Structure 1
Amino acid sequence: MTETAPDDSTAAADPLLRISDITIEYRTGRRRWTPAVRGVSLHVEPGEFVSLVGESGSGKTTLVQGALGLLPAAARIRAGTIAYSGVDVTGWNDRRLALVRGNYVGFIPQDPNTALNPVKKIGQQVIEAVRFNQPRSNKAAQYREAALSSLRTAGLTDPERVFQQYPHELSGGMKQRALIAIALAGQPKIIIADEPTSALDVTVQKVILDHLIRLQDDLGIGILLVTHDLGVALDRSDRLLVMRDGEVVEQGPVRQVLTQPANDYTRRLLDAAPARHHGRLEPATGVRTVAADAPVALRAHALTKTYQLRGRRPHRELRALDAADLLVRAGTTHAIVGESGAGKSTLASILVGFTTADHGTVQVGDRELTSLRHTQLRELRRDLQFVFQNPFTSLDPRFPVSRIIAEPLHAFRLLPGKQQRRARVVELLRSVALDESYLDRLPSQLSGGQRQRVAIARALALNPRILVLDEAVSALDVSVQAQILQLLVDLQAELGLSYVFVTHDLGVVRLIADDVTVMQDGVVVETGEVEQVFHAPQHAYTRQLLAAMPGTRLAADAR
C-alpha cells in the first residue's frame, strides 16, 4: 500500500472517493460487536454532486466518519475498503490520514456552534487550517491572504470583517460559510458535508446550497451531501443513495429514483415528503370542514416586546415584536412562519403567558390574558397548552411516561384516585397512537417521534381548547414528521382543537394550516388564508420564502 496521499495523477482513472463493501461495527459489550453499516458501496466522481439520504439511525454519519478516519474508539471497520483517487486508505492511522483530510477531502460538519472554537477569531481558525494543509514560509502575511481568499471563496462578502470576528458575532449562515472556508483551506478535490443546512432557515439553506453548487461548477469539486431532507437531496443531486438500517436500499440518478423508486422504503419517504402533497391533510375520519363564521378562539393585538442587550456599550435594544396582530379561528390551524429572529417564538411565548409583552393584548375566548393575575393565568392554562420543539429536553428524563403524562392532573388536583388517573393516562396514550406498554418507559427509551407523541399527550391531559406548538416537528425525520402531522390533524377533527403552529417550514404549513402569518424582524408582513398567501403572495419577503422552499423536483413530480 502506498504511503503517499492521493494526487491528480490518478484522478482521471479513479473516482475521487470509492467506498467498497464497507462494514462498520460498534462495541456493545465486552466481546460483542454490532454492525451499524453493512456492505455499503458508493463513489463520487469529479464535479459530481451525490447525496446520501436516510433517517436517524440509518448509518449515514457512521459511514462518513469511517471514510474520514474519524470513527470513535468504540467503532471499527470490519470489512471493505476506502480509496481516494485509487489510493486505498483503509486502516491508515491518524498521522497518515492527515495527508488526506484537508488537502484532498474537506469536511463540513453539521453544527457550526460546536465545530467552531468560541474563543478564537474566525481568521485564526481559518489560518490554522491553511497552515496545516498548505505549508508555506513563516510569513504571517501569506497565511492571512490565503485565509482571506478562502473566506471569499466560501461566499463571505466582507472577509476582512469576518476575519476579525468571533463565532458568536456571526449569523448561522455566516458561521456555516466559515466552516466551508475552513474546509476549502486545503484546496480539496472533494467535500463531504454532513447535514450542513439542517439547522438553517430555508433562505439561508438555499444560499449555502447554491454556493456549494457554484464550487462544484467553478472548481470541479466533488460533493457528498449527507442529509435527511429528501427535498434538498432531490433538488441538488446528480445521484442519490438511500440508506436504511445500515444498508443502501436504493441508488441511482435523481430522476430515476424520483419517478421509478424500486424500494418500498424509498416510496414511503417520497410519499411522506411535504413537497409531494398539494392541499391540506385530511383527518382519517373523513373530509374536514370549517365553518366560515367560526368564532375567534384567540386574538392578539398590537403586541410589542423589546429586550435590552446587556454587556454592550452603548446600551442597545432589540425590538423582538413590533405591534404584531394575530387572529386564530376556533377549530383551525394558524401557522406563524419566518426566519430565525423573526419574532415567532417570542410571539408564541407571550400567547401562553410565558413572556410578558411591553404593550398590546392577548384575548382567549372572552378573557383578556395580559391583565390576569398569576392564579387566574394558571387556571387559563387549562384551556391553553404549549408543545415545545425538543421533547427530549421538555420531558423529565427521570420520570416514566405514566408520570410525565399525569403531571398536569396532579398539578390541578384532577382525578384524585390512582385508578382514575391511570385510566386517563392510558386514554391519552391511545389518543396519540401509543399503548400501555409505554407507561413504564423513560424518555431515553423512546424514539424522537414517540417522545413528541408523549409531549402532545401531556398537553392534552387538561382537555385544552388551544395548543401552541413551537417547531414541534422540525427535529423529526420526514416519515415520523408525517405521522405526527397526521396525528395533529386527526386530534383536531376529533376534539375540535385550535392550533397555533410556529414553524420555518412552508411545506408543513401547506399540509396542516388554514391561515398563515408571515413575520420578518418582529413585524407581521403578511397574513391570510394559506391558499391565498401561497398562490398570490403580496409581500416580497413572502415570495422570497416560497422561492427558497426545497423539493421543487418532488413538487413537479407530484403534479
Structure 2
Amino acid sequence: MALLDVKNLSITFETPDGDVEAVKGINLSIEPGECLGIVGESGSGKSQTMMAIMGLLAKNGAATGSATFNGQEMLNVSVAEANKVRGADVAMIFQDPLTSLTPHLTVGQQMREVLDVHRNLSGAEAKKLCLDWLERVRIPEAKHRIDQYPHQLSGGMRQRVMIAMAMLCSPKLLIADEPTTALDVTVQAEILDLMANLQKEENTAIALITHDMGVVARMCDRVAVMRHGEYVEEGQIDALFHNPQHPYTRMLLDAMPRIDRPHEAAEVTLTQSENILNVKDMNVKFDIRVAGGLFGKKLPLRAVDGISFDLARGETLGIVGESGCGKSTLARAVLQLVPPTTGSVLWMGRETAGLDRQAMKPLRKDLQIVLQDPLASLNPRMTIAASIAEPLKTFQAELSSNERMHKVAEMMERVGLDRNMINRYPHELSGGQNQRVGIARAMINRPELVICDEAVSALDVSIQAQIVALLKEFQTDMGLSMMFISHDLSVVRDISHRIMVLYLGRVVELADRDTIYTNPIHPYTKSLISAVPIPDPRIERTRPRIQLPGELPSPLDPGAGLRFLPSKRHCDPNYRPQLNEVAPGHWVAEHDSLEEIMETEARQLAS
C-alpha cells in the first residue's frame, strides 16, 4: 500500500476576480522510502498540492478529493486530527527557513517544543536528542549553536536546523518545498546529500518540490511534471529524462543550462587595446561593530580585498562565489555606488575612483546595473513606461514626449513586452516581465557596460533561458560589455567569455569559461564545480564530489583568507595569497594541495 495516496485532488481559491482553480483533479502516490520529485514552474500548483495535504491552505482556498496517509484521510480534517500526523509522521521543510523559524526562540527551544508536543519528551533527554540531530545534520559546534537564535546562523545552517526539527520524530514522509533554491551551490549539495542519507538510513519517503531539473536528477526515484494545475507527465527518473513524452517536459529539460554542455557565447576577440574597464588593487573595507568590552569593538571587514581585472569591449566576465565573497560589493564599487577604500578604477581610460555623485552623473549613461529583485528596484507608483523612460529624461532631455514614448515602445517590444502593457504598474506583471522592464530600463540609452547582479536567479528555468538569450542578443547588437554575477555556475558558463572565482573578497582563479570548467586548479573552484547538479541522472549517480569540511569561515576572521594555504596561516595571518599566471590568461591563487587542506581542516574540527 502507498504511504501517501492522493486521488482527484482539486484546489480552488476565491478571489475578487472570481474563482481560480489552482489544482485540477490530480492523482499521486508515494511509496515508503521513495523520493518523488514534483517539478514545474511558478504557479503550476506544486506547493498548493502539499499545503492542502498538510491542512495549510489559505482561508480563501478549498480542496476536494482525497489524500490518505497510511490509510488515514488528511484532507479537510480538523486541526486536532491534522496535528496528530503533521510534525510527527509527516514533516515539511519550507523554502525560507528564516521566516519558518520563530525569531525570538533559540534553536534548542524550538526543537524541544516539537519533542514536547509529539513525543512527550523534555529536560535532559530532549536536549540530548536535539544535539544528536544537530550533529547528524553536520552543524559544527552543536552544543554552542543550540542556544543561538535563527538570525545568528547562516542560511545553510538554518536549513539544516529545519531538517533536524523535521526529523526529530522520525517522520515517515518528509515534504521539502524548494529546500535549496536560495542556497549557495556547495550548501545546496550538502543539504541534498543530507536528505539522501536520511532517506537511506531512516527509510524516509520524500516529496521534493522544485523547478531545478538538476536537483531532481540527483535526488529522485520518480518524477511528476506539473503545468497549470495538472500533471502532464509522470515516470521513473531515467525514462523521463532520456525519453520525455510531453513537449513541456522536453522544454524544461532543454531550457536548463548545463555546466557540461554550455551554449555558445557571443564571439569576441580580446586585445589589450580594447579594454574599456581596468580595475587595479581595489579594496572595500567596512568597520563592523561586534560584541566585546563595555561598548563592543570594531573589526575590519574586507569585503573586497585587492582585486584586479580588465574587461574588454563586447566581453562578458562571469563572477562567481558563495554568499559573502564580495561579488555585489565589487560591482557597486566599480559603479561608484559604494566608494572603494583604496585602488583604481579606470573607465575608458578615466579614473573614476573618488569621483563624487555630480562628477559621476555624465558617466551613468554608459554604466548600468540590473538587480536581482526587479519588483524592489522599480518604483511601484510609476507605470512601467515611466520607469523605462526615466533614463531618457536624464540623458536625452532634448527628446519630445512623443519621441520618448516611441523609444520606450520600441524597447518594450525588443525585450518581449507587449506595447499594451505600457500603462501597467510593476505589481500587475509577473517576475519575468518585471525583469524585462529592468533590462529595458538599463538598455534604453545603449550603455557600454551592464552589470547583472543575480539578474536571473529568482526566475523559472524557461524565463531564465529567455532572459539570458535576450542579454546575448543585446550584446551582439550593441557591442555591450557585461559583468554577470551569479551563484548558478551553469548559467555563468552559458553566458560568459571569462570567469572570475571569488573567495572572501579575493580572486582565487580567473580563466576563460572552457578552461575554468575543464581544467580547474584551485581547490575552491573544483569544489564549486563538483557541487553543481547536472540534469542527467546517469551522470549524477557517478559524479565524484569534492566536499571541503567545515563551514565557510567568517570574513571577520583575519586568517580566513588562508583556508586554502594553511602552511602560511600560522606564520602570518595577514598574508595575502598571490595570484600567479599558470598558463596564458589562466590565473590561480597560491594554495596548498587539497589533501593538506582537508587534513588541516579535519584536525581543527577534531580539536
TM norm structure 1: 0.93
**What is the match of residue 595 of structure 2?**
none
1:379-431 alpha-carbon deviations (Å, 9 max, x no partner): 11111101111101001111111101011112335244111111111122122
Structure 1 residue 23 corresponds to structure 2 residue 10: yes
Deviation for aligned residue 1:92: 0.8
Deviation for aligned residue 1:510: 1.4
Change (3 A) 1:353 1:454: same
Change (3 A) 1:371 1:282: closer
**What is the match of residue 115 of structure 2?**
130
Partner of 2:103, secondary structure, is: coil
Whether contact under 8 Å (1:270, 1:276) holds in the other structure is no
**What is the match of residue 509 of structure 1?**
492
Deviation for aligned residue 1:514: 0.1
**What is the match of residue 8 of structure 1?**
none
Distance 1:555 1:468 in 2: 36
**What is the match of residue 24 of structure 2?**
38
Structure 1 residue 329 corresponds to structure 2 residue 312: yes
Deviation for aligned residue 1:554: 6.6
Whether contact under 8 Å (1:385, 1:459) holds in the other structure is yes
Whether contact under 8 Å (1:277, 1:511) holds in the other structure is no
Deviation for aligned residue 1:152: 2.5
Structure 1 residue 397 corresponds to structure 2 residue 380: yes
**What is the match of residue 63 of structure 1?**
49
Whether contact under 8 Å (2:238, 2:537) holds in the other structure is no
| Structure 1 gap ranges (5+) | 1-13
Deviation for aligned residue 1:293: 5.8
**What is the match of residue 483 of structure 1?**
466
Distance 1:265 1:51 in 2: 16
Q: Which of these residues, 86, 99, 102, is aligned with residue 117 of structure 1?
A: 102
Whether contact under 8 Å (2:3, 2:31) holds in the other structure is yes
Deviation for aligned residue 1:437: 1.1
Distance 2:343 2:229 in 1: 53
Give runs of aligned pairs for residues 101-500 of structure 1, distance below 5 A: 101-136=86-121, 139-275=122-258, 278-281=261-264, 288-290=267-269, 292=271, 295-313=274-292, 314-412=297-395, 414-500=397-483
**What is the match of residue 518 of structure 1?**
501
Change (3 A) 1:39 1:492: same
The amino acid across from 1:77 in the alignment is: A
Whether contact under 8 Å (1:387, 1:469) holds in the other structure is yes
**What is the match of residue 522 of structure 2?**
539
The amino acid across from 1:133 in the alignment is: H
Change (3 A) 1:412 1:354: same
**What is the match of residue 591 of structure 2?**
none
Distance 2:260 2:377 in 1: 31
Higher relative contact order (CA 8 A, sep 6+): 1
Deviation for aligned residue 1:28: 1.7
Partner of 2:365, secondary structure, is: coil
Partner of 1:242, secondary structure, is: strand
Distance 1:388 1:452 in 2: 9
Deviation for aligned residue 1:309: 1.4
Distance 1:245 1:415 in 2: 47
Structure 1 residue 76 corresponds to structure 2 residue 77: no
Whether contact under 8 Å (1:409, 1:415) holds in the other structure is no
The amino acid across from 2:98 in the alignment is: N
> 438-447 vs 51-60, which deviates more?
438-447
Deviation for aligned residue 1:178: 0.5
> 271-280 vs 36-45, which deviates more?
271-280
- % of aligned pairs identical? 39
The amino acid across from 2:458 in the alignment is: A
Partner of 1:377, secondary structure, is: helix
The amino acid across from 1:33 in the alignment is: D
Change (3 A) 1:91 1:123: same
Deviation for aligned residue 1:375: 1.8
> 272-281 vs 423-432, which deviates more?
272-281
Partner of 2:376, secondary structure, is: helix
Change (3 A) 1:155 1:55: same
Distance 2:230 2:282 in 1: 51
Deviation for aligned residue 1:146: 2.3
Whether contact under 8 Å (1:46, 1:189) holds in the other structure is yes
Partner of 2:84, secondary structure, is: coil
1:270-325 alpha-carbon deviations (Å, 9 max, x no partner): 00000187233357xxxx45355661021211111121112532322211111011
Whether contact under 8 Å (1:466, 1:499) holds in the other structure is yes
Partner of 1:386, secondary structure, is: strand
Whether contact under 8 Å (1:50, 1:224) holds in the other structure is yes
Distance 1:486 1:33 in 2: 36
> 291-300 vs 336-345, which deviates more?
291-300
The amino acid across from 1:51 in the alignment is: G
> 95-104 vs 369-378, which deviates more?
369-378
**What is the match of residue 52 of structure 1?**
38
Structure 1 residue 99 corresponds to structure 2 residue 87: no
Deviation for aligned residue 1:149: 2.4
Partner of 1:98, secondary structure, is: helix
The amino acid across from 1:295 in the alignment is: E
Distance 2:144 2:86 in 1: 28
Whether contact under 8 Å (2:290, 2:299) holds in the other structure is no
The amino acid across from 2:463 in the alignment is: V
Deviation for aligned residue 1:432: 1.1
Partner of 1:51, secondary structure, is: strand
1:463-504 alpha-carbon deviations (Å, 9 max, x no partner): 210001100000000000000000000110001100000111
The amino acid across from 1:306 in the alignment is: K
Whether contact under 8 Å (1:193, 1:226) holds in the other structure is yes
The amino acid across from 2:228 in the alignment is: D
How many residues get paired?
536
Distance 2:345 2:172 in 1: 56
The amino acid across from 2:210 in the alignment is: T
The amino acid across from 1:67 in the alignment is: I
Distance 2:535 2:9 in 1: 33
The amino acid across from 1:47 in the alignment is: G
Whether contact under 8 Å (1:320, 1:521) holds in the other structure is yes
Distance 1:180 1:58 in 2: 25
Deviation for aligned residue 1:438: 1.7
> 296-305 vs 331-340, which deviates more?
296-305
Distance 1:556 1:123 in 2: 39
Distance 1:512 1:282 in 2: 5
Partner of 2:362, secondary structure, is: helix
Q: What is the alpha-carbon root mean square deviation over aligned residues?
A: 1.7
> Structure 1: which 4+ aligned runs deviate by more than 4 Å?
291-294, 554-557
Whether contact under 8 Å (1:516, 1:528) holds in the other structure is yes
Distance 1:294 1:46 in 2: 63
